[in-house]
Amino acid sequence: MENNTYNVKELAHKLIQGTISPDEKAWLDAWYTGFSDEEVLLSASKYQTPEQLREGILNKITAQMETPGKPARKVITLWRNIAAAAAVVLLVTFAALYKNEVLEVVDPAKQVELVTAPGKHRQISLPDGTQIWLSPGSHISYPDKFRTKERLVKLEGEAFFDVVHDEDHPFVIQSGQLKTVVLGTSFNVKAYPDQIISEVTVISGKVAVQEHNLPKSQQAIMIFNQRAVYNKTDRSLIKQDYPNAAKYLAQRTGLFSYDGASLQTVADDLSLQYGIRITLSPEISKKGFYGHINTNESIAKTFNKLCAVMDIRWNRVDNDYYLQSLPSNN
């Protein structure tokens, strides 16, 4: 924050160093009187009152000074008084300038780790209000408080995102070698660690996708009904039109619809959803399937419905499932 005469950041440093002039101190006092630093800090921390906030800063400073081997209670008391003064100085002079740094000392952000089991979906809300639908067999990591320039989330697997718009804080998803950057939109990211192909499909808004360590000049920009396909083997990134992008609105809750997709495609989807291995006999792999599948149901129920429609049969050996033609009556 600045005016035509003084820079608040410079005056704050001078105040700490004891080199601030009377005129500068008077201006800084007037500036601070009109700024509610406690309200700014309290709005993003676990503390409910200014007293709790000051005590939290004080305890952090004191803990660093009261190390083992420090004798004399009077010395500790003196240091605590100095720490109290330092806590007040921190609160008074740096709230607006170093809000996130102060909060990380007083109330550090914690990393949240969530994993979904095979066949299980989960909807979560992030601290900024962003909604995420996590697909089965997926892992996501994010801070419980967004305090950096980027709202960074790490994903392994698949998830549907409905991101709250914030022009000053881009939402960034790191999924393996792929980096997805958005301001506010809805899209689906499919990036399982053991899959060669990763996909980012846009349902609304605009999304930028690039390989994590490559410059922005090599990124793909997609709008609605487009997707980026990344191949880990040759590191290629291709943008495609994808008119059926809206299907992910249903798939995010486990509901799949097919309009002539091959049985191999259906089997690949079920493998990821249920965390199983599916092998098709060659003569049925290209047969087209028309219908709906609810992957929230048991795999046995899903296979029974699929086989009834396609006139095929299934059997299981350990965690391997086999689909094949019905035996001939001849």
CA–CA separation, 185 vs 175, rounded Å? 18
- Specify the higher pLDDT residue, 280 or 55: 280
Q: Which helix (H) or strand (E) holds 288?
A: strand 288-294
Confidence at residue 19, expressed as pLDDT on a 0 to 100 scale: 82
Give the pLDDT confidence of 7-17 residue by residue, as tens digits.
766 776 676 67
Residue 21 corresponds to which tokens in the numbers above? Answer: 């002039």
Confidence at residue 327, expressed as pLDDT on a 0 to 100 scale: 83
Confidence at residue 102, expressed as pLDDT on a 0 to 100 scale: 54
Tell how strand 277-280 and strand 320-325 pair up: parallel
Give the pLDDT confidence of 279-293 residue by residue, as tens digits.
999 999 999 999 999
Confidence at residue 264, expressed as pLDDT on a 0 to 100 scale: 96
Q: Name every residue whose Cβ is closer than 8 Å to that of residue 71 and which is 6 or more positions away in sequence.
A: none
Query: Does the pLDDT value for residue 205 go beyond 80?
Result: yes
pLDDT, mean over the chain: 81
Q: What domains, with CATH codes, occur in the chain?
A: 35-106 (no CATH), 111-247 (2.60.120.1440), 254-325 (3.55.50.30)
Q: pTM value? A: 0.69
Confidence at residue 99, expressed as pLDDT on a 0 to 100 scale: 56
Q: Which helix (H) or strand (E) holds 24?
A: helix 22-33
Query: Does the pLDDT value for residue 50 go beyond 70?
Result: no
CA–CA separation, 88 vs 81, rounded Å? 11
Confidence band (pLDDT; 50, 70, 90) for 212? confident
Confidence at residue 184, expressed as pLDDT on a 0 to 100 scale: 83
Burial of 324 (0-12, 13-18, 19+ CB in 10 A): middle
Contact 84, 58 (CB under 8 A): yes
Confidence band (pLDDT; 50, 70, 90) for 2? very low
Span 182-192, mean pLDDT?
92
Confidence at residue 10, expressed as pLDDT on a 0 to 100 scale: 73
Helices 299-310, 263-274: axis angle to 10 degrees equals 170
Give the pLDDT confidence of 131-167 residue by residue, as tens digits.
999 999 999 999 988 888 899 999 999 999 999 999 8
| Beta pairing partners, 188 | 160, 201
Query: Does the pLDDT value for residue 30 go beyond 60?
Result: yes
Confidence band (pLDDT; 50, 70, 90) for 49? low
Span 85-99, mean pLDDT?
52
Q: Which residue is listed with tokens 């301001």?
A: 183
Span 194-210, mean pLDDT?
94
Burial of 78 (0-12, 13-18, 19+ CB in 10 A): exposed
Confidence at residue 247, expressed as pLDDT on a 0 to 100 scale: 94
